Structure 1
Amino acid sequence: MPRVSQAHLDARRQQIVDAARARFASHGFAHTSMADIIAESGLSNGAIYRYFTSKEQIVIAVCEQGTEALPKALTPEAVAGFLEYVRARARENRHAQLVAQIYAEAAVSPPLAAVVQRQLAAMRAAVAELVPESRRADAAAIAEAFVALCASYSQQLAIRGDLDPAPFTAALMAIIRE
């Protein structure tokens, strides 16, 4: 029996994660079964279970790939660009709905909560590094507020639909400048 390459194995695993992401975004975690993920992926039961033994493992894999691209600077243009990126992902693939579901599921799943907590900590650390020198003493608090407001923007997109990021950009810039 020929061995398959690691690239092939990685592609199949990604196919499963992509199928699950699409199904979770459109139907939610509670209304998605392993059978739904199998159907969405086009793979067999055996193929799915080779990579994941439970839906929770798939949810965690989806979450682990969900890190947002943060702004490269805390300027109005960079922050607006970042929020527009979040907005575009919400429109294109219902990413905001998926994030809302991940947060809700993390509230009752310690393994998923650990992944989300690591991601949020990494985001806060990255933002803190971008805080202007004149505000360095407040970098941790600024990063905490920045990440919280960005998460709120995503949640608002999930619930209210397409929203102009301008008021959120203005609020984030006010936090940074104070």
Structure 2
Amino acid sequence: MPKISDEKRAARRAQILDAAWICFQKEGLHATTMDDIIRASGLSAGAVYSYYPSKDELILAAVTTSLSGLRTLMQPLFDVRPPLAPAEFLRRATETIARFTAREGYDLKRIALLGWSEAQRNERLRATMQGFYLAFRDQIEIVMEQAVEAKRLDATVSAKDAAKTLLSAILGFVAQSAILGDVDPAEIAAGVTAFAASGRS
């Protein structure tokens, strides 16, 4: 039997994950079955199970893949010089999320809410998410420390507090967009700017 190339293997994984995301958005994590995903993928049961032996493994892979992809797209925000001020960081971060999550046939922001819920019962999934969000928050904190040094953030503001607030706003953007659908990154940034200005008055 000929070996499958790494490129073909990656394409099949992506094909299965796309099918899973479509099914998850349509039916939810618990109602979706492996049979649903197999049918949506257009692959044989043997092919799907050879990559993901269970639905839990597939859910973990879906979350890991999406978080890894988002982390790659977010990285340039941490390398900007001079460092981004809080509102500008928030605007660019939420714009990146909006671009990354809008897919043909599904929206990863809506699926993120399902993942957050699933993480409350699935410790492995929760640990994966915690690792990503803690590392992301630490990176934001470094940017905020740099912003203080560059006088783009008031020196009286704790960089750690600023990072926690920005992460809360980013996750809130995901939730509001998924549920209400009427949130724009520029509006979020403008709100943060207005709050900051009102605190100085």
TM-score scaled by structure 1?
0.86
Per-residue CA deviation, residues 33-69 of structure 1 (Å, 9 max, x unaligned), is: 1011101111011001101111111111110112233
Conserved 8 A contact 1:142-1:176: no
Separation in 2, partners of 1:175, 1:125? 23
Larger Rg: 2
* Cα 1:121–1:9 shift into 2, 3 Å: same
Question: How high is the TM-score relative to the length of structure 2?
Answer: 0.77
Identity across the alignment (%): 29
Superposed, 1:1-178 pairs within 5 Å as 1-67=1-67, 68=70, 69-70=73-74, 71-72=77-78, 73-75=83-85, 76-89=87-100, 91-92=102-103, 93-131=106-144, 132-134=147-149, 135=155, 138-173=158-193
> Relative to structure 1, is the Cα distance of residues 23 and 174 closer, same or farther in structure 2, using a 3 angstrom cutoff?
same
Provide the alpha-carbon RMSD of the alignment: 2.5
Task: Indicate the SS of the match to 2:121.
Answer: coil
Superposed CA offset, 1:62-107 (max 9, x none)? 1011223333453444532332333345554412101111101011
Counterpart CA distance in 2 for 1:128 and 1:176 is 17
Structure 2: which 5+ residue stretches go unaligned?
Answer: 150-154
SS of equivalent to 1:118: helix
Aligned to 2:152: none
Secondary structure of the residue aligned to 2:2 is: coil
Counterpart of 1:79 in structure 2: which amino acid? L
What letter is aligned with 1:40?
A: A
- SS of residue matched to 2:160: helix
How far did 1:151 drift? 0.3
Q: 1:148 to 1:59 in 2, by over 3 A?
A: same
* Letter paired with 2:98: R
Deviation at 1:15, TM superposition (A): 1.4
Unaligned residue ranges in structure 1 (runs of 5+): none
Letter in 2 for 1:164: D
Residue 65 of structure 1 aligns to a residue whose secondary structure is: helix
Aligned to 1:32, what secondary structure does the other structure show?
A: coil
Query: What is the letter of the counterpart of residue 116 of structure 1?
Result: M
